[in-house]
Every structure is written in structure tokens, then in C-alpha cells.
Structure 1
Amino acid sequence: MRNLQITLAVADEQYIEPFLLYARTGEFAKQVSVRAFSKVEAFLAAMGEGRPDFVLGEPDFLSPWLASEGGKGVPWAVLGGGEESIALGGPVLLPFQPLNLLLTAVMDLAGSAQASSANGALTLSGKAEVLAVYSAAAGAGKTTVALNLAKQLGGRGLKVFYLNLETVDSSVTFRSGSGGHQGREGGLPELLYDLRAARETGELFRSPLSRYASFQERMKCASFPPLDRPDELLQMDQADTTALIDYLAASDMCDIIVADTDTESHERSEALLDRADRVLWMLTDDLLHLQKAAGWMNHWETRQPERFYALLGKSHFIVNRYGDHLENTLPRPEIRPFAFLSYIPSWKYVSREDVLLGSPIFQRDILALCEQLGLGERGNRSATGRELAQAAGGWQ
């Protein structure tokens, strides 16, 4: 895969020199190639001869370029912060910030733009894997598994995004007060609004994920701030959900998305199951739970057979709260356990949510599940994930 071709256009040569040095020798050396210009005339001439993947420049450079035919179809961002920068109507990045964060934001913007189709809708770029944690019956420990999975994958060096699509978010306390949401203009509600607006107007959607989400140190992953009310989720249809997931998957700030949704069948959950690359289908060794799961499977097989078999083809059945053996007979031949997660008796008496992320036995089982799924470390990205968590409070 070739490097991302970036054109940098700023008047200050003393800014250009360290930028080029970092891009050529730092952690992004194998991911980006940068060509820099300090004169407007030279920049415009070069842009007339070729088209880079992304342009990062000051307003004095971008204004004449955007007014020309050559400025159409190339993703860009303003390097600045004043009224002149905002007036151009595109994404604005502050020049004096850690270069690793600046280049991460540039790659995020470039990835989102490349994933945009001609009509403004987002399509999968194939970058981040979408892993849905699902159960056809309540009480299987979906959210506990999803949170532990996100934490362990984040701890292994992957850049993880935890996406909760439950109508009533049961993970709220894990994501409040730990990531620092100051500066996040609106989180998920604002992102949904912006995605809808882009689809309606046919415009390229360039806003970086860091504008809406933040890194959660306790969970070792990123997520949206918790919602005060479920109104936005209740209004989400299948198109909204698919656009949201595609946008996240296209972001260079994500290696994997761990998504959690309701057991009830609605457009959000259906869209997630359709869009997911793999589904972890949670089960418990409980007669009523297994009967309900089989009932839903029978219903889907009768009403939507193609969709049902597509779902089965990418599902891994996980038995949670497992003892030494299964007491009940599995109700359908397709239900073949892929992994077992231990029953933790002490969780019955837990009064603090963070205890659910600290069981050594359960963490061992989750790590074993990660190995079975083939989700290991990605050494070339782990440093970026750590730096995002440490520098300037995470995603800024």
C-alpha cells in the first residue's frame, strides 16, 4: 500500500523543516510522504501539475487554490485558527500541537474523504474491523464482554473504538469522568447531524473523529461521551447507523470497532448485524435463554432466510458464565460454541462497576478469545495509541 501523499503549504520555512524531518523519520515515515511549499506561486504551479491525496495549508495558499478548478475533489484542511481560516468552510487544524496528533488528524480526514462516495454517503474503506457483540435474549452479559474486550484489545496495542448503540446505555459509568470530554462539541448527536447533512447536500464529509469522541484511559479505547437522553438513538434508522459505522471504520484512529446493541430487533441492531465483519453471539447455559435464542433464530430463518444465513456465516457463539460443563442441550445444530467465558460468582455482589473490568480470570478468558479471533498486537500502531492517550488529554 502506497504512502499517503500530503502537500504542506505554509509561509514559515522554520515550520516546514521540523515537519518534514518528523514525517520522514518518525512513526509515520512508512505511512506518509510530504511535499512542502513556502511560496504561493510555487504551490499553485505544483497543484496544477498533479493531485496529492491531501492538502494541508494556510489560508493565503488555500484561498486561490480552492477558487480554481484544481481545488475540486482533493481533500484539504486549513492550518490556522483565526477567522480567515474558519471562513474557508473546511476543517481547521491548529499548527502548534504535537506533530503526531496533527498527522493523525490529517490521516483521519484523508481516510474519511477517500471513503466518501460521489453522493456524499460513506462506504467501507476496509481499514477497521467491526466486531458486534450480540445476544438474542437479555441477560447474557453482552456489555460486560464488550467492555472487557475493548479494554484488552486496547491494552494489546490496537486502536479500539467502543460503540454503544443500546437505547438505554448500560456502559455509562465506565465512560463518564475518565476521558475528559471538555471541548467535545456534541459527541454522537452532532456527528449524526453532520453525517445526515452531508448525505442530503452531497458534500464530502471531512470532520475528524477526534472532534466527536475522546480516549478513555480506564477502558484503553475511544468512545463517544454518554448521552443524557436516548432521543438521538431512537431516531436513528438503518441508513444513519450504516453511515456512522462506515465513518468510524474509515478513520485512521481505529483498528477495530467493538459495538454493543440491544437484544430487541430494531433498525439500529439490524444495521449493525448486517454491517459487522464478525458477530460474537453471546449465550448462557440457561434453558429459558436458549429457548428464546432458538425462537428468534427460527423466526429469522422463516421470514428473512438470506439475511439469517449471512448472519450465521459470520457469527461465533460464545458461552458466557460457563461452569465446568453445559447443563442444557443446545437447541439448534448451528449453535456450536466457539469459546467459553468463566462464571465469576463474586460479580453477584459487585457494588462498583469498575470491578467488572478487573477480574484476572475473566481477563484471561477474554485474552484467549482475542487469540482465537486472531486479534493480536499491531506493533506499528501501538505507539500512536499510547500517545493519543497521553498527549494533551487524548484526542484533541
Structure 2
Amino acid sequence: MERLTVVLAGPDTEYLEMVLRFVRSSEFASALTIRAFSSKDNLATYLNTQSIPHVVLVEPDFLTADVSWTTLDNVILLVSSQYSKESERYPSLFKYQPIHQLLTKAKAMYLDKHEVVVEQALGNGHTKVVSFYSIVGGCGKTTAAINMSRQLSLGGNKVLYLSLETVSSSPAWFGTVPNQELAEILYYITSGNKQAASKLEQYRKTDSESGLHYLEPLTHLKEIEDVSREDVRGLLDIIVSSHSYDYVVIDCDSNFHARTIAALEYAHEVMLLLLDDIQCMYKTKAALTALRSENAELYQALHRKIHMVVNKYTGSMANRPEPDLFDIQGYLPYIPQWKNVTQGQQLSASREFNHQAMFLTSLFSQAK
């Protein structure tokens, strides 16, 4: 997609400079050319003599500038209150929201209005999709998936975390309130709407500490149960073909639902978590044995990319999986301090766990 030219206009020079500094040091540096004006005269000169910009973010007071506003169909008002009365002529955005969120919404509004389709080139091979899975719940799958995602992001990679669990705990990690944005993205996909990619860009969130991107999970049980194999593949196609990420980390449900199978099939790597527990080992063996018997094609596909990882490892094991199924390839340590946590952020504070989570990425290049 072409680089967008954005004009930002308003009397607050400190705000303008803050936005410019953010753009220069963020991912938007390669996506946007931004021009800022604190003078109505300078704004008028630019808009009346230069090529029409893709987006004009302007505070309402600057609409009095001597500009042929009727020739601009991409004007967005920057309002200082979330309760400002909506303009009949121009859409608006709240000025004091996080800058990343503001620019993402402005870009998405442009894409929607002009029906610009994000280019797709499936199978580009640049994005590695990693699915975290366990046969038995309670194996610490989400803890491992989010910690690896954060560490990859802190290491300079562009990472998206996606939860496909029936009931996801990721909002507790990120301190957010669940919403229906993912449901809207999936609706766009199933209805064949070409703007699904722009909705994805609009609704993704950013973890302020690590820079990790994530989507809020579905919250209604009926909606998540209705997500099909095709829905998941369509969503992942759009994410991968956006060329925006080095890694997509999927937090799968502990079942063989169609959406889970789709995530396992699509992934380049599957991290299968288990515990040194007789019930966990038995159920894992029983499920994989049944899969090998009933769906040999899927079993063989998984066999080539599964990495079996023992979580809550204490230094020795009383139980081991059958060697003819999968070998243990990694270990994540037991962290006693995690027995009593009150915030999801506390589960990212162990240097030992994070070091081992990053070590698991060395398994990705090991051929089977």
C-alpha cells in the first residue's frame, strides 16, 4: 500500500511536536508522511498549493482557514472532548487518545472510505505462525504464549498475539475490557467484505510495556463456538498477508474444535504443553493415539512441527510421554511466586521463565 500523507493542524504546538516525535520513532515512520501546522495561513497555503493529502486531521477552530474545504473529502475533526457533538459534515476523533490508536483509526477510516484493499500475497513465508496447545487445560499455555510473545516483541520483532480459547484470560494480562471487535472482523471475513484488513488494523491493541500487538478475544460463548475452520484460516490469511508481523502467536483451546484444528494446521510451529502429572500424561497419550488412528493425515502434519514442552518443571520428572509419540524438547520452570498473583502483569516478571520461553524459539529451526 502506498505511503499516506497526513496533515495535522491545530494551535497546540506542544501537541503537534509530540505527535511528530512519536511518528518518527514508531512503525508509522515508514507508513506516513506527516505535515503539522499551527498557523491557519500556513495550513491554507499548503492545502491550496500542494497535492491533496490522503488525510487531514484538523481541530474545529482551524476550519475557518481560507481553504477550499469542499475539495477535500478526507477531513477528520480532532475534538478535545469525547462528548463533543458530532459534526454533520465531518467524522471526528478524540484528540487525547493514545497517539498510536489515533493514527491507526485515522488510517482505517481512510481505507474504509476509499475502499483501499490491503495488498495480499499469501504464502510469502516471512511471518512465522506459532500455535500454543495442550490436550489438558491448566498447563500454563496462556502464560507461556504471552510471555514468549512479549519477549519476542521486546527483542525487536513485530508480534501479534491471538487467543482462540472459549474463555480467554488474556484481558487479565493486558488490563483491558473485552469487546466485540474480533466478532466484527470475523463478520467482515465471512461476508467477503474487502475491508476486513483495515478493520484488523483499526482494532488491534498494543501492550504499552512490550509493544506487542493483540486482539481482544471473543466474549460470547455462542460466538466463539460458531467460529469455523474457514473463519480462522481467513483471519490468519489476512494477518499473514499484511506483511506486518514477524510472528503470530496463537493461544489455542484445549480441544479438537474446528477452530483449534485450523490453528494447528496453519501454524509453522506447535508448542504442545504438558505437566509432569499422571492424568495429563495419560490424556495426552490417549488423545494423540486416537488422532493417529482416526486422522493420520493431521497427525503426520503435526508430527513434523510439534515441540513437546514440560511446564512447571522442577528439575526432575516422575512421568514421561510414550517415546513413540513425541519427545520432550523443552522445559519451562516452576515459579513458586506465581501461586498467589493478583494481576496478569506479575506473570511476566520472572527472568528465569522468560529466558526459557525465549530459548524455546531455538527449536523453531530444528527440522524433524
Q: What's the TM-score once normalised by structure 2's chain length?
A: 0.69
Deviation at 1:152, TM superposition (A): 1.1
Deviation at 1:106, TM superposition (A): 6.3
SS in 1 for 2:190: helix
Amino acid aligned to 1:196 = T
- What does residue 118 of structure 2 align with? 113
Deviation at 1:127, TM superposition (A): 4.1
Whole-Å separation in 2 of the counterparts to 1:319 and 1:105: 44
Q: How many residues align?
A: 319
- What does residue 338 of structure 2 align with? 347
Deviation at 1:340, TM superposition (A): 1.1
Which of 282, 299, 312 does residue 308 from structure 1 map onto?
299
Higher RCO (CA 8 Å, separation ≥ 6 residues): 1
Deviation at 1:155, TM superposition (A): 1.3
Amino acid aligned to 1:193 = Y
Whole-Å separation in 1 of the counterparts to 2:202 and 2:297: 38
Deviation at 1:38, TM superposition (A): 8.2
Deviation at 1:164, TM superposition (A): 0.9
- What does residue 325 of structure 1 align with? 316
Deviation at 1:62, TM superposition (A): 9.4
1:103-140 CA-partner distances (Å, limit 9, x unpaired) = 99869979962228xxxxxx555443211000112222
- What does residue 157 of structure 1 align with? 156
1:368-394 CA-partner distances (Å, limit 9, x unpaired) = 2234446xxxxxxxxxxxxxxxxxxxx
Q: 1:186, 1:212 within 8 Å by CA — same for their partners in 2?
A: no
Amino acid aligned to 2:251 = D
Deviation at 1:353, TM superposition (A): 3.3
1:168 aligns with 2:158: no
1:192 aligns with 2:186: yes
- What does residue 213 of structure 2 align with? 222
Whole-Å separation in 1 of the counterparts to 2:175 and 2:324: 42
Amino acid aligned to 1:131 = V
1:308-332 CA-partner distances (Å, limit 9, x unpaired) = 1011111111111122233223213
SS in 1 for 2:357: helix
Q: 1:150, 1:220 within 8 Å by CA — same for their partners in 2?
A: no
Instruction: Note closer, same or farther for the CA distance 1:245–1:111 as it changes in structure 2 (3 Å cut).
Output: farther
Which of 248, 258, 261 does residue 270 from structure 1 map onto?
261
- What does residue 127 of structure 2 align with? 128
Q: 1:175, 1:226 within 8 Å by CA — same for their partners in 2?
A: no
- What value does the CA root-mean-square deviation take over the aligned residues? 4.3
Q: What's the TM-score once normalised by structure 1's chain length?
A: 0.65
Q: 1:147, 1:219 within 8 Å by CA — same for their partners in 2?
A: no
Whole-Å separation in 2 of the counterparts to 1:369 and 1:211: 31
- Structure 1's unaligned 5+ residue stretches are 13-21, 44-54, 64-77, 87-91, 117-122, 375-396
SS in 1 for 2:249: strand
- Structure 2's unaligned 5+ residue stretches are 10-20, 34-45, 57-68, 78-86
SS in 1 for 2:360: helix
Instruction: Note closer, same or farther for the CA distance 1:39–1:127 as it changes in structure 2 (3 Å cut).
Output: farther
1:235 aligns with 2:226: yes
Q: 1:319, 1:337 within 8 Å by CA — same for their partners in 2?
A: yes
Q: 2:55, 2:106 within 8 Å by CA — same for their partners in 1?
A: no
Amino acid aligned to 2:279 = L
Amino acid aligned to 1:189 = A
Q: 1:79, 1:93 within 8 Å by CA — same for their partners in 2?
A: no
Q: 1:163, 1:223 within 8 Å by CA — same for their partners in 2?
A: yes
